[in-house]
Amino acid sequence: MAVSEIMSESPKVPKPTIERLAIYSRPLEDLLEAGSPVVSSERLAILCGVNPAQVRKDLAYFGEFGIRGLGYEVKELLKAIRAILATDRRWSLCILGMGNLGRALVENENFKRRGYIFVAAFDADNRKVGERLACGLTIEPVAGIKDIVSKLHVDIGVITTSQKGAQRAADLLIDAGVRSVLNFTPAQVRISSSCFLENEDIGLKLENLAYHLTRIRGARATK
């Protein structure tokens, strides 16, 4: 299980595998804190609501982290997953749109713990500009984005503007040199193909729930 092996570009890692790796890390943090030295794929699978073989296969894409007959060393496994997900380094984020959601995100401690640091916050509304946030950041005018992004080496831009402002926010980010964008608005933003875009529509899961509620009465719990 060399680091080079962890980092090597594996032939084809399923996208769902990446999402699950992040899920696995949650209970692993708890186990580490609780002092459990090892965990089996079966136990981890139960904690995450997935199939044990799935856990093993997901990990196997990146190397051999387990000890046969025993399981996985919690500390080592967590370290390995963090290396895979690149949560073991610091990511600089900036955020556009300091409404309710934007404020909630920058104040959130989990992101900081995982190495995602908000280094700048912007808003198009001049009444908000200059406001000091609890996390220590001051809301900046969007006009200054280019300077700040290049000065602070922003890796990821987060969009939490109103739906109408999303495309403009994306354009500002790309123009400022940010190559990856996480969009929390329900708007579909278009972006240069050389950049990376991920959408997170918080409302979608609710609609899912409503659908299932109207059908399956007395349904089983999902992942």
Ligand X SMILES: NC(=O)c1ccc[n+]([C@@H]2O[C@H](COP(=O)([O-])OP(=O)(O)OC[C@H]3O[C@@H](n4cnc5c(N)ncnc54)[C@H](O)[C@@H]3O)[C@@H](O)[C@H]2O)c1
Partner DNA sequence: CACACATTGTGAAAAAAAGCACATTCAATC
Partner DNA sequence: GATTGAATGTGCTTTTTTTCACAATGTGTG
* Partner that binds at residue 125, options a second copy, ligand X, DNA, none, CB closer than 5 to 8 Å by kind: ligand X
* Partner that binds at residue 54, options DNA, a second copy, ligand X, none, CB closer than 5 to 8 Å by kind: DNA
Within 34-73, the residues that bind a second copy by CB under 8 A are 47-49
| String marking each residue 146-185 x if it binds ligand X according to CB under 6 A | --------------xxxx-x--xx--------------xx
Q: How far apart are CA 56 and CA 42, in angstroms?
A: 9
Amino acid letter at 76? E
Tokens at 168, concatenated: 């403009």
What stretch of H or E contains 156?
strand 156-159
Angle at 167 between CA 17 and CA 201, to 5 degrees: 40
Q: How far apart are CA 56 and CA 41, in angstroms?
A: 6
Centroid of chain to Cα 68: 31
Within 46-75, the residues that bind ligand X by CB under 6 A are none
Q: How far apart are CA 80 and CA 2, in angstroms?
A: 10
Smallest gap from Cβ 82 to ligand X, in A, equals: 18
**Which of 36, 54, 92, 180 is the binder for a second copy (CB under 8 A)?**
180
Within 88-127, the residues that bind a second copy by CB under 8 A are 91, 99-101, 103-105, 107-108, 110-111, 114, 116
Look at residue 198 and give its three-state secondary structure: strand
Task: Give the closest residue to 170 by CA, choosing from 140, 198, 139, 201.
Answer: 198
Q: Are 70 and 92 in contact (CB under 8 A)?
A: no
Footprint on this chain of ligand X (rule: CB under 6 A) = 96-102, 104-105, 108, 110, 122-125, 128, 142, 160-163, 165, 168-169, 184-186, 202-203
Footprint on this chain of a second copy (rule: CB under 8 A) = 9, 18-19, 21-23, 26-27, 47-49, 84-87, 91, 99-101, 103-105, 107-108, 110-111, 114, 116, 155-156, 163, 179-180, 182, 186-188, 191-216, 218-223
